[in-house]
Amino acid sequence: MRTLAAALALALLAVPAWARARNSKGPRAGGYCSKNAVGTTSTDKKGVSLECKADRNGKARWVRK
């Protein structure tokens, strides 16, 4: 029982680090960007050029150029 509890505790400590590593892919088309980045350009992991623009609801999103 203690082994199971220890394994669960270690798994719960590792999950946030794993989630950060999976979400650190950079900008992607349709994803949100910060409002102070509106008007800037970047490239995604495939090399596609993206621009941060406000959508019709006022939320900043990455769109393909």
- Residue 34's alpha-carbon distances to 37, 46, 52, 61, 65, in angstroms, are 5, 21, 8, 8, 18
Q: Tell me the pTM.
A: 0.59
Across the strands, what pairs with 60? Answer: 54
Compute φ and ψ for 61, nearest 5 degrees: -135, 155
**pLDDT tens for each residue of 12-50:** 776 666 665 555 567 888 899 998 999 999 998 888 999
